[in-house]
Amino acid sequence: MLRCFGLFAVCAVMLIQSAQAADAYPSKLVKIVVPFAAGGSTDLLTRSVAQQLSEAWKRPVVVENRAGGGGIIGSDFVVKSPADGYVLLLGTNTTHAVAATLYAKLPYDLRRDFAPITEIASIPLLLSVHPSIPVKTVRELVAIAKAKPGELNFGGGTGAAAHMAMELFQSMAKIKMVHVPYKGSGPAMIDLLGGHLSLGFDAVMTTLPYGQSGKLRTLAVSSLKRSAVAPDVPTMAESGYPGYEAILWFGLFAPAATPPEIVRKIQEDTARSIAAPKLREVLASQGLDIIASTAADFATRVDREIIKWRKVILDAGIKLE
């Protein structure tokens, strides 16, 4: 009886301490690590959210870019940081869902070592072809790819969102095209515009101006719903591939041992911050869809994505050391 009472007392004290820690959070600077180089949608989103949180918390929230290793260097830094909510990771489907299978060895376990906080937002990709490819629809593209297997080519970083989107398309359409590896989406887009590549996926706001000017021919959007910034572009599902989805999502993670009360506070405050009309307008103008999911929903999303992309990667035989 005394032992049970003692355990109950210890648990009660721990709960009180956790609640007090959450109430006091944050009491100092909070750092959000972006595991990529500065610039692009990832930086815009992270810095916008950091500014809103800084105003809400009356504490500085800074963004630190720790690029390298396809996101591994920055992610590993966060995993090894104190689990107190003061060092967070801006993760993506590339750093988590894809990396879980793409790399033979990681210095951390993506499921065990991270606490998902919230999926902040996502951005769809547009599938476009160079005008020299005589197609106007996804069905026509598939017909050419089947008639001339291995003749069409596409670019993108190995394991990047654009590459994975194309591998999923090939798997569902049962076609075979040639992947040309690039160090980033910028050089791949230059070669697509120059006609050195046949087709490619890229972020909606990157691709849309080229489609509107006629430099590329846009065929479909990679999200389940049509994009608000490109409402006339059909989805891949509408183009004959039900269930197709290959978006770039962004979410906050903390080290796994971070107290649940602090994780919940960050999630709730982030959701309130990105609900600000001015911020939503800025992000929407960049083609970003606001999500602000709960930690539980985000964890489910990550697990589902790991399973989904594992099959795509293994079927395509993609490997990175």
pLDDT, one tens digit per residue, over 167-177 is 999 999 999 99
Region of residue 128 (phi > 0: left; psi between -120 and 50: alpha; otherwise: beta):
beta
Rounded-to-integer distance, Cα 272 and Cα 286, Å: 20
**Cross-sheet strand order for the sheet of 125-129:** 178-181, 153-156, 199-203, 125-129, 217-221
- State yes or no: pLDDT of 18 exceeds 70: no
Alpha-carbon Rg for the chain in angstroms: 21
The third-level CATH classification (topology) of the domain covering 21-123+247-316 is: D-Maltodextrin-Binding Protein; domain 2 (3.40.190)
Out of 23-32, 40-49, 234-243, least confident range? 40-49
Q: Which pLDDT score, from 0 to 100, does residue 321 have?
A: 57
Find residue 119's DSSP bridge partners.
Answer: 251
Q: Tell me the C-alpha distance between 279 and 48, whole Å.
A: 7
Give dist(CA 24, CA 88) in Å, integer: 17
- Same CATH topology for 21-123+247-316 and 125-221: the answer is yes
Give residue limits of the domains in the chain. 21-123+247-316, 125-221
What is the amino acid identity at position 247?
I
Amino acid identity, position 121: A
Which of 250, 321, 254, 267 is closest to 80 using CA atoms? 254
Number of H-type helices and E-type strands within the chain: 11, 11
130 pLDDT band, cuts 50/70/90, is very high
Residues 253-286: pLDDT tens digits? 999 999 999 999 999 999 999 988 888 888 888 8
pTM: 0.88
- CA contacts within 13 A on the Cβ side of 298: 28
Per the CB < 8 A criterion, the answer to whether 77 and 32 are in contact is no
Cβ atoms 82, 299 nearer than 8 A: no
CATH architecture of 125-221: 3-Layer(aba) Sandwich (3.40)
Pairing mode of beta strands 153-156, 178-181: parallel
